[in-house]
């Protein structure tokens, strides 16, 4: 059996062993999935790059998979698409094998995972407690090891709350970075496809595969020319004030305090008041924005009778029907209010890389949700509902586990600052400064080689950090250069290419956006220049040089092999 086929077989074995039928709405025949896996391995044998080869995927059942019915958790809505959703097609093209469609809160409306005629999805670790919705089945499939990756969707927190409650990772990208073509909306235009995985690195790899522009999606967006892709080794992270944490139950408050203590080891915490952001969340259900729910599912709810009406979740149906008569003037008013809150959010978070919040304020039992379905669900979205409304990105990661539930932390960033949220999340998980894999496509950034005052720990390095540049690694040039100590303040070296008697010079490689590189070049003082520098692997990158006239009074320090060695020598 081939590599991918073995993983597929193991996935079906895990499904049988788990005995969690409520996780799935439709499961592919194992033989079909094994055949597809064998085809993946055949493609790999021809040299095709397949970054997700050997991984199996579950797909939330409001996202199309060719040949499998899409129900959105409502049997009468079932339709069999002829083509994959764009995100699904990209995963398959990268070598992943889809094995089925997962259960969800009906019409992707809810944060509890109990609102489905296909059964309440029990938590992966605490079966008496909720799994979180609406992407309940996807999160549990990942948490139980049935699949490596799962697609969910997120409007009000459905890609983050289930991640927290099942101790996995959930990435909610900036709206538009992942195509929603082939996804049934929940509340247009605030929906996005999300990714679940057990490890942050895996989740980022999968998200990078599907974060592609799509001409068939009118709301598709590309990385901007000034995207930030790096944070400081010790970034400033905003955390809510005590007054903004009243939704936390007692055990979750203790977990949050422990998470903040852990975060403080890798970041500088700044307490801010986020009450306006939390207030924005109310517009999703208590304001006119809820009209989007009726636009998405109203036709099905209104037409339901007989057996179809019996399969409607009463809570979901009530929300949808309640959104039917929203006045257009009220919708315009609430959209304008959101614009104002979004501007205020940028002021509140100015100077901070990200905002850290609890992913969920409590982890209730299924019985508690059944007793108060609306109240508990509303509370679950306290720290998630505002994010898409304000066009922000988020990464949810596990923080602590206890006998009576799970607790997670979400790192929230401004639109297109997804990488910042991921990198802070990576440092939080590791307990030391580190970074996640690069989500931003390499075509959206430019490599820059530095050899002196812009190296890490040197006085001008903050200039790169402030531009959102990202450290890639140590490099050395080809043996065609000489290095000179220039008479500048602060001290800097000058790198010069020579035809003979050259040497390899040590430096660092960074990446930054094209716009950031332009600003960097515009502010570059004489005698420094930027040009092409050849590295020892034969590649050429943008790098530092200097004007020839500056070398007249400069000392040749090539023998040291680099600026740091020269400085260490006390020269």
The alpha carbon torsion through 448, 451, 456, 457 (nearest 10 deg) reads -150
Over residues 324-346, mean pLDDT: 96
Which pLDDT tens digit goes with each residue over 218-241?
A: 999 999 999 999 999 999 999 999
How many Å apart are CA 125 and CA 402, to the nearest integer?
Answer: 10
Over residues 326-344, mean pLDDT: 96
Predicted local confidence at residue 1, as pLDDT: 66
Cβ-based burial of 149 (10 A; exposed 0-12, middle 13-18, buried ≥19): buried
- pLDDT over threshold 90, residue 67: yes
Reported pTM: 0.96
**Residue 2 banded pLDDT, cuts 50, 70, 90:** confident
The CA-based angle 456-460-462, given to 5 degrees, is 70
Spell out a b/e string for 517-548, using b for 16 or more CB atoms within 10 Å of the CB, else e.
beebeeeeeebbbeeebbbeeeeebbbbbbee
Token pair recorded at residue 449: 């080689």
Task: Single out the residue of 163, 8, 29, 198 nearest to residue 95, CA to CA.
Answer: 8
Predicted local confidence at residue 548, as pLDDT: 87
Q: Any bridge partners for residue 130, and if so which?
A: 122
Predicted local confidence at residue 3, as pLDDT: 87
Question: Three-class SS of residue 68?
Answer: strand
Q: Is 134 a catalytic residue?
A: yes
Token pair recorded at residue 366: 């299924």
**Residue 479 banded pLDDT, cuts 50, 70, 90:** very high
Which pLDDT tens digit goes with each residue over 46-66?
A: 999 999 999 999 999 999 999
Predicted local confidence at residue 470, as pLDDT: 97
Among 4, 136, 138, 158, which one carries the catalytic annotation? 158
Instruction: Return the domain boundaries, the chain.
Output: 3-214+229-430, 445-568
Which pLDDT tens digit goes with each residue over 347-403?
A: 999 999 999 999 999 999 999 999 999 999 999 999 999 999 999 999 999 999 988
Q: Any bridge partners for residue 2, and if so which?
A: none
Among 4, 60, 359, 427, which one carries the catalytic annotation? 60
Among 4, 116, 131, 134, which one carries the catalytic annotation? 134
CB-CB contact of 159 with 177 (8 Å): no
Q: Is 478 a catalytic residue?
A: no
Query: Same CATH fold, 445-568 and 3-214+229-430?
Result: no
Q: Is 158 a catalytic residue?
A: yes
Distance from the first to the final alpha carbon of the chain: 62
* Fold annotation for 3-214+229-430: Amidase signature (AS) enzymes (3.90.1300)
Predicted local confidence at residue 571, as pLDDT: 56
| 3-class secondary structure per residue, 405-473 | EEEEEEEEEECCCHHHHHHHHHHHHHCCCCCCCCCCCHHHCEEEEECCCCCCCCCCHHHHHHCCCEEEE
- pLDDT over threshold 90, residue 131: yes
Question: Three-class SS of residue 52?
Answer: coil
**Residue 552 banded pLDDT, cuts 50, 70, 90:** confident
For residue 189, cis peptide bond before it (omega within 30 degrees of 0): yes
Which pLDDT tens digit goes with each residue over 402-438?
A: 889 999 999 999 999 999 999 999 999 999 999 999 9
CB-CB contact of 239 with 270 (8 Å): yes
Task: Single out the residue of 79, 53, 172 nearest to residue 415, CA to CA.
Answer: 172
Side-chain-facing half-sphere of 469: CA atoms under 13 Å: 31
Over residues 510-527, mean pLDDT: 95
Question: Domain 445-568 class?
Answer: alpha beta
Which pLDDT tens digit goes with each residue over 154-185?
A: 999 999 999 999 999 999 999 999 999 999 99
């Amino acid at each position: 059996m081939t590599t991918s086929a073995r993983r597929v077989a193991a996935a079906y074995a895990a499904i049988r062993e788990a005995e969690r039928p409520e996780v799935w709405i439709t499961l592919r025949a194992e033989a079909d999935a094994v055949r597809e896996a064998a085809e993946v391995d055949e493609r790999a044998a021809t040299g095709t790059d397949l970054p997700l080869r050997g991984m199996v995927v579950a797909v939330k059942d409001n996202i199309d998979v060719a040949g499998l019915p899409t129900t959105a958790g409502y049997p009468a809505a079932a339709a069999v698409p002829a083509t994959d959703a764009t995100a699904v097609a990209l995963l398959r093209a990268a070598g992943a094998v889809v094995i089925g469609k997962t259960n969800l809160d009906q019409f992707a409306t809810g944060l509890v995972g109990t609102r489905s005629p296909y059964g309440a999805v029990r938590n992966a670790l605490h079966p008496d407690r909720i799994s979180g919705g609406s992407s309940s089945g996807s999160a549990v499939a990942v948490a139980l090891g049935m699949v490596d990756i799962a697609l969910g969707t997120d409007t009000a927190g459905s890609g983050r709350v289930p991640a927290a409650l099942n101790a996995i990772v959930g990435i909610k990208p900036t709206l538009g970075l992942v195509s929603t073509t082939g996804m049934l909306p929940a509340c247009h235009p605030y929906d996005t496809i999300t990714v679940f995985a057990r490890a942050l690195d895996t989740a980022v790899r999968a998200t990078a595969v599907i974060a592609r522009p799509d001409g068939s999606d009118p709301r598709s967006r590309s990385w901007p020319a000034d995207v930030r892709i790096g944070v400081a080794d010790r970034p400033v992270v905003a955390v809510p004030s005590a007054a903004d944490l009243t939704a936390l139950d007692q055990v979750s408050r203790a977990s949050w305090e422990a998470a903040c203590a852990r975060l403080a080891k890798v970041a500088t915490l700044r307490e801010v008041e986020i009450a306006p952001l939390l207030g924005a969340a109310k517009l999703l259900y208590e304001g006119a924005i809820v009209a989007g729910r009726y636009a998405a599912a109203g036709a099905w709810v209104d037409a339901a009778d007989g057996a179809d009406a019996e399969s409607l979740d009463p809570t979901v149906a009530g929300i949808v029907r309640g959104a039917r008569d929203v006045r257009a003037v009220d919708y315009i008013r609430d959209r304008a209010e959101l614009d104002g809150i979004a501007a205020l959010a940028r002021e509140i978070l100015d100077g901070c890389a990200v905002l850290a919040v609890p992913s969920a304020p409590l982890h209730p039992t299924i019985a508690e949700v059944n007793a108060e379905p609306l109240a508990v669900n509303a509370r679950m979205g306290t720290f998630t509902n505002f994010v898409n409304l304000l066009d922000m990105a988020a990464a949810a990661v596990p923080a602590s586990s206890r006998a009576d539930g799970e607790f997670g932390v979400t790192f929230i960033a401004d639109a297109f600052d997804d990488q910042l949220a991921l990198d802070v999340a990576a440092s939080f998980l590791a307990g030391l400064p580190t970074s996640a894999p690069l989500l931003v496509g390499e075509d959206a950034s430019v490599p820059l080689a530095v050899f002196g005052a812009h190296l890490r720990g040197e006085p001008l390095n903050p200039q790169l950090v402030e531009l959102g540049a990202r450290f890639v690694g140590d490099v050395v040039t080809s043996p065609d250069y000489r290095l000179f100590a220039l008479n500048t303040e602060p001290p800097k070296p000058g790198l010069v290419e020579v035809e003979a008697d050259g040497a390899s010079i040590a430096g660092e490689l960074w990446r930054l956006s094209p716009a950031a590189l332009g600003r960097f070049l515009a502010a570059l003082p004489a005698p420094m220049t930027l040009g092409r520098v050849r590295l020892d692997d034969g590649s050429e990158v943008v790098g530092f040089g200097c004007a020839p006239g500056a070398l007249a009074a400069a000392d040749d320090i090539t023998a040291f092999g680099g600026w740091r060695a020269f400085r260490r020598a006390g020269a």
